[in-house]
Amino acid sequence: MTPRVASSEHSAEVEAAIIDAARDLLAEMGPGGLSMRGVAERVGITATAIYRHFASKDELLDRVVHVGYERYGEYLQSAVRPHPRGSFERLRALGEAYLRFALENEAYFRVLFSLQPPHRRDVADLPGGGYQVLRETIAEGVASGALRPADPDVVAHYLWALAHGLVTIGFACRMGDHVCAAGSSRDAPLELFRAFTPFVEDGLRAGNGHDANGLVTVEERVRS
Protein backbone atom coordinates (compact mmCIF):
# COMPACT_ATOMS: atom_id res chain seq x y z
CA MET A 1 0.00 0.00 0.00
CA THR A 2 1.34 3.43 -0.96
CA PRO A 3 2.10 5.61 2.11
CA ARG A 4 -0.39 8.42 2.67
CA VAL A 5 0.93 11.96 2.53
CA ALA A 6 -0.47 15.19 3.88
CA SER A 7 -2.99 16.80 1.54
CA SER A 8 -1.47 20.23 2.14
CA GLU A 9 1.85 19.19 0.61
CA HIS A 10 2.38 20.29 -2.97
CA SER A 11 5.73 18.88 -3.91
CA ALA A 12 7.68 16.29 -5.84
CA GLU A 13 7.06 13.93 -2.93
CA VAL A 14 3.29 14.12 -3.50
CA GLU A 15 3.70 13.59 -7.22
CA ALA A 16 5.88 10.54 -6.61
CA ALA A 17 3.28 9.15 -4.18
CA ILE A 18 0.55 9.65 -6.80
CA ILE A 19 2.59 7.77 -9.39
CA ASP A 20 3.28 4.92 -6.95
CA ALA A 21 -0.39 4.64 -6.01
CA ALA A 22 -1.47 4.63 -9.66
CA ARG A 23 1.15 1.98 -10.43
CA ASP A 24 -0.07 -0.26 -7.62
CA LEU A 25 -3.73 0.08 -8.67
CA LEU A 26 -2.83 -0.75 -12.26
CA ALA A 27 -0.81 -3.80 -11.21
CA GLU A 28 -3.60 -5.04 -8.93
CA MET A 29 -6.70 -4.30 -11.00
CA GLY A 30 -5.63 -3.29 -14.48
CA PRO A 31 -6.53 -0.09 -16.37
CA GLY A 32 -10.21 -0.48 -15.46
CA GLY A 33 -9.35 -0.21 -11.77
CA LEU A 34 -7.48 3.06 -12.10
CA SER A 35 -9.39 6.17 -11.01
CA MET A 36 -8.31 9.55 -9.75
CA ARG A 37 -10.50 9.08 -6.68
CA GLY A 38 -8.94 5.70 -5.92
CA VAL A 39 -5.44 7.11 -6.27
CA ALA A 40 -6.33 10.08 -4.05
CA GLU A 41 -7.62 7.77 -1.31
CA ARG A 42 -4.38 5.80 -1.29
CA VAL A 43 -2.21 8.90 -1.21
CA GLY A 44 -4.29 10.73 1.37
CA ILE A 45 -5.25 13.78 -0.69
CA THR A 46 -8.41 14.95 -2.43
CA ALA A 47 -9.13 13.91 -6.00
CA THR A 48 -9.08 17.59 -6.93
CA ALA A 49 -5.53 17.91 -5.62
CA ILE A 50 -4.32 15.30 -8.11
CA TYR A 51 -5.20 17.64 -10.97
CA ARG A 52 -2.53 20.04 -9.74
CA HIS A 53 -0.05 17.40 -10.87
CA PHE A 54 -1.82 15.56 -13.70
CA ALA A 55 -4.43 17.01 -16.05
CA SER A 56 -6.19 13.69 -16.64
CA LYS A 57 -6.18 9.99 -15.85
CA ASP A 58 -4.58 9.30 -19.24
CA GLU A 59 -1.73 11.68 -18.44
CA LEU A 60 -1.20 9.91 -15.11
CA LEU A 61 -1.24 6.52 -16.83
CA ASP A 62 1.30 7.72 -19.39
CA ARG A 63 3.57 8.96 -16.60
CA VAL A 64 3.43 5.64 -14.77
CA VAL A 65 4.40 3.78 -17.94
CA HIS A 66 7.15 6.30 -18.72
CA VAL A 67 8.66 6.01 -15.23
CA GLY A 68 8.48 2.22 -15.41
CA TYR A 69 10.25 2.01 -18.76
CA GLU A 70 12.82 4.56 -17.64
CA ARG A 71 13.66 2.43 -14.61
CA TYR A 72 13.70 -0.70 -16.77
CA GLY A 73 16.16 0.95 -19.17
CA GLU A 74 18.41 1.97 -16.30
CA TYR A 75 18.67 -1.66 -15.15
CA LEU A 76 19.73 -2.79 -18.63
CA GLN A 77 22.19 0.02 -19.24
CA SER A 78 23.84 -0.50 -15.85
CA ALA A 79 24.14 -4.22 -16.54
CA VAL A 80 25.97 -3.95 -19.85
CA ARG A 81 28.26 -1.05 -18.92
CA PRO A 82 31.02 -3.12 -17.21
CA HIS A 83 31.29 -5.66 -20.06
CA PRO A 84 33.05 -5.21 -23.42
CA ARG A 85 30.94 -4.86 -26.55
CA GLY A 86 30.64 -8.07 -28.51
CA SER A 87 31.14 -10.32 -25.47
CA PHE A 88 28.84 -13.10 -24.34
CA GLU A 89 29.12 -11.72 -20.79
CA ARG A 90 27.31 -8.58 -21.93
CA LEU A 91 24.43 -10.68 -23.22
CA ARG A 92 24.23 -12.73 -20.02
CA ALA A 93 24.20 -9.56 -17.94
CA LEU A 94 21.19 -8.27 -19.87
CA GLY A 95 19.21 -11.40 -19.07
CA GLU A 96 20.00 -11.17 -15.38
CA ALA A 97 19.12 -7.46 -15.38
CA TYR A 98 15.71 -8.21 -16.88
CA LEU A 99 14.96 -10.70 -14.12
CA ARG A 100 16.27 -8.42 -11.39
CA PHE A 101 14.10 -5.57 -12.65
CA ALA A 102 11.05 -7.84 -12.56
CA LEU A 103 11.78 -9.27 -9.11
CA GLU A 104 12.66 -5.92 -7.54
CA ASN A 105 9.91 -3.91 -9.29
CA GLU A 106 7.03 -6.36 -9.60
CA ALA A 107 4.31 -3.72 -9.82
CA TYR A 108 6.09 -1.86 -12.63
CA PHE A 109 6.83 -5.14 -14.40
CA ARG A 110 3.15 -6.10 -14.34
CA VAL A 111 2.13 -2.67 -15.64
CA LEU A 112 4.65 -2.78 -18.49
CA PHE A 113 4.48 -6.41 -19.55
CA SER A 114 1.39 -8.11 -18.10
CA LEU A 115 -1.41 -5.65 -18.93
CA GLN A 116 -2.88 -5.58 -22.41
CA PRO A 117 -2.74 -1.98 -23.69
CA PRO A 118 -5.54 -0.69 -25.94
CA HIS A 119 -3.01 0.05 -28.68
CA ARG A 120 -0.05 -2.31 -28.87
CA ARG A 121 3.25 -0.82 -30.03
CA ASP A 122 5.84 -2.49 -32.20
CA VAL A 123 8.37 -4.19 -29.93
CA ALA A 124 11.17 -2.01 -31.28
CA ASP A 125 9.23 1.14 -30.37
CA LEU A 126 8.76 0.38 -26.68
CA PRO A 127 10.20 3.15 -24.46
CA GLY A 128 13.35 2.57 -22.44
CA GLY A 129 15.35 1.16 -25.34
CA GLY A 130 15.32 -2.38 -23.93
CA TYR A 131 14.79 -4.16 -27.21
CA GLN A 132 17.32 -2.00 -29.02
CA VAL A 133 19.95 -2.72 -26.36
CA LEU A 134 19.31 -6.47 -26.59
CA ARG A 135 19.35 -6.55 -30.39
CA GLU A 136 22.48 -4.42 -30.56
CA THR A 137 24.25 -6.64 -28.05
CA ILE A 138 23.42 -9.72 -30.13
CA ALA A 139 24.50 -8.07 -33.39
CA GLU A 140 27.79 -7.01 -31.81
CA GLY A 141 28.33 -10.55 -30.52
CA VAL A 142 27.82 -11.96 -34.01
CA ALA A 143 30.15 -9.33 -35.52
CA SER A 144 32.88 -10.07 -32.95
CA GLY A 145 32.67 -13.80 -33.56
CA ALA A 146 31.49 -14.60 -30.03
CA LEU A 147 28.05 -15.66 -31.28
CA ARG A 148 27.23 -17.80 -34.28
CA PRO A 149 25.79 -16.03 -37.33
CA ALA A 150 22.06 -15.60 -36.79
CA ASP A 151 19.24 -13.09 -37.26
CA PRO A 152 19.56 -10.69 -34.27
CA ASP A 153 15.79 -10.18 -34.13
CA VAL A 154 15.09 -13.92 -33.92
CA VAL A 155 17.71 -14.39 -31.18
CA ALA A 156 16.41 -11.31 -29.31
CA HIS A 157 12.86 -12.71 -29.22
CA TYR A 158 14.16 -16.12 -28.18
CA LEU A 159 16.16 -14.76 -25.24
CA TRP A 160 13.43 -12.31 -24.19
CA ALA A 161 10.86 -15.12 -24.20
CA LEU A 162 13.17 -17.26 -22.06
CA ALA A 163 13.71 -14.58 -19.40
CA HIS A 164 10.09 -13.45 -19.44
CA GLY A 165 8.83 -17.00 -19.12
CA LEU A 166 10.94 -17.58 -16.02
CA VAL A 167 9.54 -14.42 -14.43
CA THR A 168 5.91 -15.25 -15.13
CA ILE A 169 6.33 -18.83 -13.89
CA GLY A 170 8.03 -17.55 -10.75
CA PHE A 171 5.19 -15.11 -10.09
CA ALA A 172 2.51 -17.73 -10.69
CA CYS A 173 3.84 -20.66 -8.67
CA ARG A 174 6.67 -22.04 -6.58
CA MET A 175 9.55 -23.46 -8.56
CA GLY A 176 10.45 -26.88 -7.25
CA ASP A 177 13.47 -27.46 -5.04
CA HIS A 178 14.49 -30.22 -7.46
CA VAL A 179 15.41 -27.63 -10.12
CA CYS A 180 16.86 -24.87 -7.96
CA ALA A 181 17.82 -24.44 -4.33
CA ALA A 182 15.71 -21.28 -4.09
CA GLY A 183 12.62 -23.07 -5.36
CA SER A 184 10.31 -21.40 -2.87
CA SER A 185 11.94 -17.96 -2.86
CA ARG A 186 11.55 -14.88 -5.02
CA ASP A 187 15.09 -15.39 -6.36
CA ALA A 188 14.26 -18.75 -7.93
CA PRO A 189 13.80 -17.39 -11.50
CA LEU A 190 17.22 -15.73 -11.36
CA GLU A 191 18.87 -18.88 -10.04
CA LEU A 192 17.22 -20.99 -12.72
CA PHE A 193 18.25 -18.49 -15.40
CA ARG A 194 21.85 -18.95 -14.32
CA ALA A 195 21.40 -22.73 -14.49
CA PHE A 196 20.11 -22.33 -18.06
CA THR A 197 23.21 -20.36 -19.13
CA PRO A 198 25.30 -23.35 -20.31
CA PHE A 199 22.45 -24.54 -22.53
CA VAL A 200 21.99 -21.09 -24.01
CA GLU A 201 25.73 -20.65 -24.55
CA ASP A 202 26.01 -24.02 -26.27
CA GLY A 203 23.31 -22.97 -28.70
CA LEU A 204 24.54 -19.45 -29.42
CA ARG A 205 28.33 -19.60 -29.26
CA ALA A 206 30.16 -19.60 -32.57
CA GLY A 207 31.87 -22.80 -33.70
CA ASN A 208 29.30 -25.22 -32.28
CA GLY A 209 28.58 -27.01 -35.54
CA HIS A 210 26.47 -24.36 -37.26
CA ASP A 211 26.70 -23.09 -40.82
CA ALA A 212 26.80 -19.45 -41.91
CA ASN A 213 23.01 -19.19 -41.69
CA GLY A 214 22.99 -20.26 -38.04
CA LEU A 215 21.64 -23.73 -38.91
CA VAL A 216 22.98 -27.03 -37.68
CA THR A 217 25.39 -28.48 -40.27
CA VAL A 218 24.90 -31.84 -41.97
CA GLU A 219 27.94 -33.21 -40.11
CA GLU A 220 26.44 -32.18 -36.78
CA ARG A 221 23.14 -33.86 -37.66
CA VAL A 222 24.98 -37.07 -38.51
CA ARG A 223 26.89 -37.00 -35.20
CA SER A 224 23.66 -36.47 -33.26
Using one digit for the tens of pLDDT, what is the confidence trace for 133-188? Answer: 999 999 999 999 999 999 999 999 999 999 999 999 888 887 766 565 555 577 88
**Where are the CATH 1.10.10.60 domain residues in the chain?**
1-55
Using one digit for the tens of pLDDT, what is the confidence trace for 95-110? Answer: 999 999 999 999 999 9
Q: Model confidence at 205, in pLDDT bands (50, 70, 90)? A: confident
Rounded Cα gap, residues 123 and 15, in angstroms: 29
> Of 73, 86, 211, nearest to 145 (Cα)?
86
Q: What is the dihedral of CA 56, 38, 64, 49, to 10 degrees?
A: 50
User: Per-residue pLDDT for 7 more than 90?
Assistant: no
Does residue 52 sit in helix, strand or coil? coil
Q: Selecting from 3.40.50.20, 1.10.357.10, 3.30.70.990, 3.30.420.40, what CATH number does the domain 65-215 have?
A: 1.10.357.10
Q: Model confidence at 10, in pLDDT bands (50, 70, 90)? A: low
Range 159-190 burial, b when 16+ CB lie within 10 A, else e: bbeebbebbbebeeeebeeeebebeeeeebbb
CATH T-level fold of 1-55: Arc Repressor Mutant, subunit A (1.10.10)
Give the DSSP H or E segment for 25: helix 12-29
pTM of structure: 0.81
